[in-house]
Structure formats: C-alpha cells, structure tokens
Amino acid sequence: MKNYEEQIKKYYEEEIEAIRKIDPKEISLAMNALVNCYENGGTIYVFGNGGSSATASHMVCDFNKGVSMKKSKKFNFICLSDNTPILTALANDISYDDVFAYQLEKIITPNDLVLAISGSGNSKNIINAINVAKAQGVKVIGMTGYDGGKLYQMADYHLHAPINDMMKAEDIHMTFDHMMATILTQTLDVIK
C-alpha cells in the first residue's frame, strides 16, 4: 500500500497559502454587487467552461434555493452553461466562442449582473460575453485564478484565487460560493 500523506499535506498547504492571500475587501465589493442586483430585481447571469461550468451551476442552486429560502424575495441566478441543447446548437451553427455572448445579447439589462468564471481568465467565449455585457452597461464579477488574465482586467469586481494551479483555483472558487451563500443566508432579511 502506497503512503500519500506527504502529497496530501502539500496539496492542502499550497491551497491554504493561496487562501491567506485572498483580498476580503474585493470579495466584499463583489458580494455587495450581488446584493444590489438582488434588491433591484435584476438577474445574475453566471457561466464558465469545464469545472467552472459546474461551479456556475452549483451557484444557481445555492443562491436560488439555499440563500433565498425564507427571504422576502428570491435571487434570480441563471447559468448559461446549463442548457446542453442551446450550447451545442450555438457551437455548431455559430461558434463555440459565442455560446455565452449570444445568450446574453438582447436580453441583458443594466439592472442585471454577470458573474463569469474562468481559471485562466482568458477563455475566448468568456471574454466575448463580457464584451456584450460591457456594451450594455452591465457590471461584471470575474472569478479567476492564476494572474486573472483578461477577465480580471475587464471585471468591475473580483473573486480571485491567487494560485497558478487550476485544481486548487477551482477548489477556492467553490469556497467563494459557499462562503458568500453562508454569509448572505445569515444577513439578508428573513420573512418572519
């Protein structure tokens, strides 16, 4: 039987070191943007590729159900990564580079918010969607890793995992989701 203990410890030590570098001020600003969108009845469009797509989908559940329970109103998160038929139709008939931008065109309003997730921050379909959002005056939260890439530069708010490792960045992204959902569940008005 092989002993993996040292590799296990190393994995978590590297992740803990990155977590210690997270900027809570930036996260607080992003959380306030989510709350403002919620209070103003806007929609939060969330999306990503691969593991980031799974994080986006997970956030819809955590906010639309978890955070929204027993509240005077519900969050309205929509995951643009969730509909396989529209993704494959757009990728086939138009371009995979436009699968998110196309979905945002003509429906997004300045009252809405975009939460784009990209470990590298450079996925072309993410950047194309951000360009659509910006053209409509919509604020953007970028959830990134590594140096943040183009998404970090374009975003108004940052949920940044400062680590050059995709797996660990994606781990930290899920902690952002769960941490924000926990805090907002506790702090948003509850129906008596």
Give the angle 23-164-10 at the CA atoms, nearest 5°: 95
pLDDT band for position 189 (50/70/90)?
confident
Report pLDDT digits (tens) over 39-81.
999 999 999 999 999 999 999 999 999 999 988 899 999 999 9
pLDDT at 192: 47
- pLDDT tens, position by position, 133-167: 999 999 999 999 999 999 999 999 999 999 999 99
**Average pLDDT value for the chain:** 97
* Tokens linked to 143: 């959830």
Tokens of 112: 């809405």
Q: Which helix (H) or strand (E) holds 172?
A: helix 166-187
pTM score, two decimals?
0.96
Cα(147)–Cα(167) distance, rounded to whole angstroms?
15
Contact yes or no for 81/47 (Cβ under 8 A)? yes
- Tokens 């890439």 correspond to what residue? 149
Amino acid type, 181: A
- Structural domains in the chain, CATH included, are 24-187 (3.40.50.10490)
Taking residues 9-32, report their average pLDDT: 98
